[in-house]
Amino acid sequence: MRPTIAVGLHSLRVRLRVPLLASLLLTTIFVGAYGVYVSSSPPSRVVVQINSVTDPDGIGAATLLNLTLDNQTPKPITPSFFVYWLYLPFLWSSNSTKTLGPMSSASYLITATDGVGAVPRSTSFRVYVFDATTGNLVGQSPSLTPNIPLPALANHHFRWWTLDVGAGTKVPFGWKLTKINVNQLTSVIQGLDQNQTTGMSLQLNYSTPAINLERIMISQKILLNATTVNLSLFDPVATSTGTGAVLGIMVTDGAHELSYIFSNTTAKPTFSASGYNATTIVPIAASAWTTVSIDTNQVWQAQGWAVPNQVTFTIFLQASTVGLYSANVRDVTPPAPAK
C-alpha cells in the first residue's frame, strides 16, 4: 500500500502545481502590464515644443532656446528647465518665473547659464521641464540636433565665460589662457564688469626683476581669413611699448609669426619683416577706447608665405620691468560687409 499511496501523493502534487504556476504566471503578467500602464500614463502632462535654437553671441554652441509649454493638466505649474545632452543635465534660466495655469500655454526664452551648459554643434539634446513647486518632472521635448554654424572667431564679444581648470580661473569660452613666467595661482584676467556681459581685462603685476619677461596670452585656432578684424581697445598710460609693457596680437602657424604691437607712444604705423617674422607697430590713444583694424590675411600673403589650414590667433600682454599693468579689450569683430 505504501508505494501506491506515494504514487498517488506525487500525482496530486503535480496536479496542484500546474494550476498554481499558471495562476502565479497570470498574476505576474497582470501586475507587469499594470505597472507599464501606470508608468507610461503619468497623472500630469506638459507638452514641450522647441520653436527655435540659436547662438546669438557666436560661441559655436546653442545658448538660447525659444519654447512653448502647453499645460494639459488640471493644476498650475512653475516651470524650471533642464537641458540634457550627452546624458548630462544643465539648468538653464528662463525669461519668466510666472506660474503656468491649468489647461493653458505660454512661450519662454531660456538661456544657458554657462558656456559649458550650452549645446555643442551637431549634438542632440532634450529639454526637461520640472515643476519648481513640487520638484516633479512634468514634461520633456523630443530629441533635437541644433544646426549651429561654426563661427569664424568664437565668442568675439567675450560675453561667455567658463572655468578653465588648468588655469584655475574663469576665461572667455572658446579661448585658451596661457601664462609665461607668471604664478599659476595669480589672477590675470577678468570681465570688464561684474556680470561679464562683454569684454575682458588683462592684468600683469610684474614684481620679480630677475625674470626677463612676463606674458599672458589668450588664444584660439581659426582660419587665416578670419584674422581680418576690428578691435576695440583701452590702453592705460602705464601700458606702452616703452620700458613698461606691450599689448599686442600674434598670428602664427607654428613656423611663421606675424605680430601687431599697439603703442600709445608712436604717431605713425611702422612695419618690419625678417625671414619668418613680421611686426607692425599700430598707434593707439592712451587711456581712451580706440578701434583699430588689422588685415593679417593680406599682410601674411604679401610676405609670400603659404596659406596654412589654421593659425593661432593670440591677444597678449607682456611686461619686462617692475610695475602693475592692465589693458582692456571690448571685442574682436569682423569688418562690416561692404555695401
Question: What's the pLDDT score for residue 31?
Answer: 34
Contact 296, 256 (CB under 8 A): no
Q: Where are the domains of the chain?
A: 46-140, 161-333
Contact 78, 133 (CB under 8 A): yes
What is the CATH code for 161-333? 2.60.120.260
- The CA-CA-CA angle for residues 187, 193, 198, to 5°, reads 100
Which residue is associated with the grid cell 549645446? 119
Residue 224 is classified by DSSP as G
Q: In which residue ranges of the chain is pLDDT below 70?
A: 1-44, 194-197, 236-243, 336-339
Contact 50, 67 (CB under 8 A): yes
Which residue is associated with the grid cell 585656432? 221
What is the CATH code for 46-140? 2.60.40
**What's the pTM?**
0.80
pLDDT tens, residue by residue, 287-327: 889 999 999 999 999 999 999 999 999 999 998 888 888 89
Q: 46-140 and 161-333 share one CATH topology?
A: no
